[in-house]
Chain A
Amino acid sequence: MSTFLGMPTVAPRGVGHLRGDESFPKAARAALGNEQLRRNLGHATRTIRAKRAAVVAEVPDWEELRRAGEALKAATMARLPELLAELEERVAAAGGTVHWARDANEANRIVTGLVRAAGADEVVKVKSMATQEIGLNEALAAEGIAAWETDLAELIVQLGHDKPSHILVPAIHRNRTEIRDIFLREMPDAPPDLTDDPRRLAMAAREHLRRKFLSAKVAVSGANFAVAETGTLAVVESEGNGRMCLTLPRTLITVMGIEKVVPTWTDLEVFLQLLPRSSTGERMNPYTSLWTGVTPGDGPQEFHLVLLDNGRTAVLADEAGRSALHCIRCSACLNVCPVYERTGGHAYGSVYPGPIGAVLSPQLTGVEDNASLPYASSLCGACFDACPVRIDIPSMLVHLRTKHVEERKGPSPEAISMAAASWVMARPGRFRGAERLRRLLPLAAPFARGWTASRDLPEPPAQTFREWWRTRNG
């Protein structure tokens, strides 16, 4: 491979908030001990699951829509470079400026520079996974720029000095009493007699945010979709706070993962049906904002689009893993996942939790940096059934486990026992011999504490099936 002007010969690895401090099993153990968290999550995921199931069931061509979404994404990935070039051309033609960021650090530098150039020391933010991924708020804070989250749940997370634990509902791990306490403690303009009534909480946040909307000169957003043929960006949301950010400030900066592009305007037809039903369990999301460059005298007068790689081209290079880039961040897979429901999102370390996080994060960072995530699944398959673009997450988990095992250096006790099991099972004579050792199973109990801490080992039978078969047919 040739090197061009110091360009790396391999795709850059993702940096930012994609790695946890400890392995999944360790982090999960702590989360499982938190009963309040278990109750909050159980209640919330159960509610969203039921809503989603109801609105999906009423669409007669849901399976065809899923297949269309899958096909559109696969076709997009197959010609991603040219679509991105087309998008850049269209955005520029409409008066916007496109920036290319190799990784999180570069994206943060670009955005910080743009905010500075606009003469601002604060920004209002639309809920965005890309800016969570790159740790934009922290990067801006380090440069003395305040970033105000305006999505209600993101605001709760920010005020609570917390981390998001869900893609769509980042404060899913909080209940309303906890939210009231956070508001009273951290929001200087919260009414002192605030109750945990959802409406009162929303009104308090509304009062608080209005001031920010009216004062901020710069807004930062992510994007759900970008249409290559028109240069149009799209954000879908429920609250209208995103719309405020996208229309009031003078400068708008959008940070978007390169995989969010779709070829044509009509492709939105499929995704705008799949996304709200899968994510919030609504037929249609309340606000869909679409903008193309700038319009003199109306809305932001300066528009910047930051296209973020941060590990994505590396994912694209892996044929068996690239469909993780098809994800439209609906979080249906989180809500149906029995593992996520019990551990919550923080256990995954990365800003992308749940089944999609377990396949996306290790690919963005390289499997060695997130080695425990591909194993954070019982392979029950509920995620695949729920995915609106049919990402085969269970197969991808198996692929990543294989990659991890094959890239690992040196023998491990597990690798030795797997090789031994394979040797035994490859010949019936060896297997019969091994079966005779089954009565030694209780001796294995001390080595299987993970199992025996909560489960008994089965009683070994006096006779195996094949022994019985021989006596019967012999």
Chain B
Amino acid sequence: MRVALFVTCLADAMFPDVGKATVTLLERLGHEVVFPEAQTCCGQMHVNTGYQRQALSLVEHHMRTFEPYDAIVAPSGSCVGSVRHQHAMVAERAGKRQLAARAAEVAGRTYELSEFLVDVLGVTDVGAHYPHRVTYHPTCHSLRLLRVGDRPLRLLRAVRGIDLVELPDAEQCCGFGGTFALKNADTSAAMLADKLRSVLSTEASVVTAGDSSCLMHIGGGLSRLSVDAKPVHLAQILAAR
């Protein structure tokens, strides 16, 4: 299958290894990966901060970039959530009916990585080997916007050598929330502190998730503590051999 990688602006600029791992994984499973180089950002930060008008050009650009592809995959629950739940809304709000219809079509062909692997490709064992103690944080948007359910866990359970441990209060938000982390920095930090406490209680050396943004937040907190635990994206574990 020919898969268009929607790498997300954050992974592109700050976490390229997540994008590389996604490519490695999909190619290993026998699929052709293309990277539409015109892609930039889905506009989620704008929408969630109240700048829907300013997000419109980004939505239009996203459509132009990804419309030609049959399957679009992103290593992010949050950005796929934005494509599915916000793009048509932004277009409707601007009175652009046709754009909204196009957005709905593209959204229907856009998948978060674990959804794509389990639902479209029908695999849970991707042939990975990762001999580490790992705990999984289900990110809010993958959990409650996309309803990925236990797909990431099914993929992780099939990884050879992995010691997967349950994260206490896993479904609680890590406190990132985009600009929330800046506008309500104290509350965000309090939420992060509790998440870090849960992560450390598992004695895992790796905390994984399907979103680079939440992992950046959790990782930013972990690096302040003198601990060995580090954030690793789900794609990186699944690509490991």
Contact = CB atoms under 8 A, between A and B. Distances in A.
Interface in B32-72: 35, 37-41, 43, 45-55, 57-58, 61
Contacts of A465: 7, 11-13, 16, 19-20
Contacts of B19: 465, 468-469
A295 B12 CA distance: 72
A431 B12 CA distance: 11
B28 interface: no
A25 B185 CA distance: 8
A438 B13 contact: yes
A354 to B, nearest CB: 13
A244 B143 CA distance: 45
A165 interface: no
Contacts of B181: 450-451, 455
Contact of A453 (B12, B49, B172, B189): B189
Interface in A353-399: 374-382, 384-385, 395, 398
A426 B55 contact: no
B173 A25 contact: no
Contacts of B45: 421
Given A377-B180, A457-B220, A338 B11 contact: no
B180 A422 contact: no
B224 A455 contact: yes
Interface in B171-225: 171-173, 175-194, 216-217, 219-221, 223-224
A418 interface: yes
Interface stretch (A148-156, A168-176, A402-410): A402-410
A466 interface: yes
Interface residues of B, number: 71
Contacts of B193: 454
Size bracket of the A interface: 35 or more
B15 interface: yes
A375 B180 contact: yes
A435 interface: yes
Contact of B144 (A32, A381, A404, A421): A381
B14 A426 contact: no
A425 B40 contact: yes
Contacts of B54: 418-419, 421-422
A342 B195 CA distance: 13
Contacts of B158: none
A468 B23 CA distance: 12
B16 A463 contact: yes
B170 interface: no
A429 to B, nearest CB: 9
A339 B174 CA distance: 11
A422 B46 contact: yes
A405 B51 contact: yes
A461 interface: yes
B192 A455 contact: yes
A280 B38 CA distance: 52
Contact of A468 (B16, B85, B176, B189): B16
B38 A418 contact: no
Contacts of B143: 381
A271 interface: no
B13 A464 contact: yes
Nearest to A383: B144
Contacts of A395: 85, 89
A401 B216 contact: no
Interface string A332-359: 0000001100110000000000000000
B13, B16, B86 — most chain A CB neighbours (10 Å): B13
A61 interface: no
Contacts, number: 191
B172 A25 contact: no
A465 B17 CA distance: 7
Nearest to A452: B220
B9 interface: yes
A381 B61 CA distance: 27
Nearest to A450: B185
A339 B12 CA distance: 30
Contact of A425 (B41, B216, B220): B41
B52 A402 contact: yes
Contacts of B38: 428
Given A25-B184, A375-B183, A466-B37, A398 B220 contact: no
A454 B187 CA distance: 11
A460 interface: yes
Nearest to B172: A338
A458 interface: yes
B188 A456 contact: no
B140 interface: yes
Contacts of B43: 422, 425
Contacts of B177: 377-380
B104 interface: no
A417 to B, nearest CB: 10
A422 B51 contact: yes
A450 B181 CA distance: 7
A464 B184 CA distance: 30
A414 B46 CA distance: 11
Given A338-B173, A422-B43, A422-B58, 10 more contacts: A32-B186, A376-B184, A378-B188, A378-B191, A422-B46, A431-B41, A448-B182, A456-B220, A458-B14, A468-B19
12 contacts: A24-B184, A32-B190, A338-B175, A339-B191, A381-B144, A403-B50, A422-B54, A428-B38, A428-B40, A435-B12, A455-B189, A460-B14
Interface of B: 7, 9, 11-17, 19-20, 35, 37-41, 43, 45-55, 57-58, 61, 85-86, 89, 93, 140-141, 143-145, 171-173, 175-194, 216-217, 219-221, 223-224
- Closest 9 CB pairs between A and B? A378-B177, A450-B185, A401-B50, A455-B220, A381-B144, A405-B50, A380-B173, A465-B19, A380-B140
